[in-house]
A and B are shown apart, each in its own frame.
Chain A
Amino acid sequence: MNELEVILIGIGVVFLTLSILTMATYFFGWIINKYFVEEEEDDKEKIAAIVAAIQARGGD
């Protein structure tokens, strides 16, 4: 396998995989929210806590 093939296959498969993940996430999200989850109220305090945790977190 030559260098160009590796580059093209690499970029292609990354986009293919993440495109499939995009569609699957939309699909299962829709199914779950339509048939398995009742509406819940937004929890502003919880969102604020998540934002604070991201701001404080160290790198990987």
Chain B
Amino acid sequence: MFEVGLFAITWQQAVMIGIGILLLYLGIFKEMEPLLLGPIGFAVILANMPLTGITGEDPAGLLYAVYENFIGTGYIPLIIFLGIGTMTDFSPLLANPKNFLLGAAAQVGIFLALGLAILIGFDLSAAASIGIIGGADGPTAIYAATQLVGERPGIIAAVTVSAYSYMALVPIIQPPIIKALTTKKQRKIKMGKMRKVSRLEKIVFPIGVTIIVGLIVPSALPLVGMLMLGNLFQTSGVMDRLSDTGGNALMDIATILLGLGVGFLMTGDTFLQIQTIQILLLGVFAFATATAGGTLFGQLYYKISKGKVNPMIGAAGVSAVPMASRVVQKMGQEEDADSHLLMHAMGPNVAGVIGSATAAGILIGLLA
């Protein structure tokens, strides 16, 4: 029987359509993660139109099928990680490996947010999914959430929106925290030139990281392994076609499917709940404490190096690549126009990608 959607729409669906339009506005006109907010925003509108069956389970609607086959299985975040690997240059980390520890320090935000989420009343698996927002890595957050709370779409949707929103807001969230934890004199510190990294080091690195992480935290291997495979495509110098496809066409396809799948999760009945607001607030806390953790560890490096390390680079230990590095570079140049911290901040920044994937793997291993 033919029915008119206009008379069947609920207030929750109307609100969600409004949120979809807002996401499109932020993506298109404010250029906040447009490649992701574009498909997500449009999919939210699709998912909340009444009587379409597009989110239906039987028969399977388009958005349901995309979510079940690609996101719920965890495949798409992993393919995106492969793409990120093809675009990531680990040279700043290889030139200064101690920056790995700045990437580790920034992950404390994950565990502090996990603790706070438990205090608020979330169970351990949900709290772990929320904590991962502090890793500041969208694909990692989605992958961890699908593995930990796969049967609770409302939490996955809120975690995803939170993770990507705050990544786009890095230039707003991080500077006040960094300023509060550093002095003007420290922010002025210029760092020396980094050593050149050989091609062989760059080739051995992804293979070595895969083996080491796989042996210590097997449950982190899907994320870290795909990141490193993508990176090997790039560093080998003989797999340019694969590197190009992984970082462009494949990544774009995965991003479209990710957007559609997340949109499926954002229906009025699952998203419009108090827990969504709680998760969004906990996400800010996770992100802020991650930035603080990295900066404070940067202070430790400042002391040990007797003032040669600018402690701000620790804030880039959150894995929002390369936004967090750009923030450090900009703040450094605000104090001294001749300061060039970008490449120094990229070391902790890419270490943060490995750190957050490792943290996610640990939580999945412990709780899934």
Contacts and interface: CB of A to CB of B under 8 A. Distances in A.
A20 B115 contact: no
B366 A10 contact: yes
A6 B168 contact: no
Interface residues of B, number: 61
B204 A18 contact: no
Interface string B180-215: 000000000000000011101100110011001100
Interface string A5-28: 011011101111111111011101
B217 interface: yes
Interface in A16-60: 16-22, 24-26, 28-29, 32-33, 36-37, 40, 42, 47, 50-51, 54-55, 57-60
A57 B87 contact: yes
Contacts of B111: 7, 10-11
Interface hub of A14, A36, A42, A57 (most chain B Cβ within 10 A) = A14
B124 interface: yes
B97 interface: yes
Contacts of B363: 6, 10
B358 A17 contact: yes
Interface residues of A, number: 37
A18 B100 contact: yes
Given A3-B115, A18-B101, A13 B198 contact: no
A37 to B, nearest CB: 4
B124 A59 contact: no
B94 interface: yes
B138 interface: yes
Contact of A6 (B114, B196, B355): B114
A15 B104 contact: yes
B146 to A, nearest CB: 17
B166 to A, nearest CB: 11
A59 B33 contact: yes
B325 A18 contact: no
B168 A59 contact: yes
A57 B114 CA distance: 31
A24 B208 contact: yes
B351 interface: yes
A40 B198 contact: yes
Contacts of A6: 114, 124, 128, 363, 366-367
Interface of B: 33, 35, 80, 84, 87, 89, 91, 93-94, 97-98, 100-101, 103-104, 107-108, 110-111, 114-115, 118, 124, 127-128, 137-139, 167-168, 196-198, 200-201, 204-205, 208-209, 212-213, 216-217, 320-323, 325-326, 342-343, 346, 351, 354-355, 358-359, 362-363, 366-367
Interface of A: 1, 3, 6-7, 9-11, 13-22, 24-26, 28-29, 32-33, 36-37, 40, 42, 47, 50-51, 54-55, 57-60
Given A24-B208, A58-B35, 7 more contacts: A9-B362, A14-B107, A28-B204, A37-B201, A50-B91, A60-B80, A60-B167
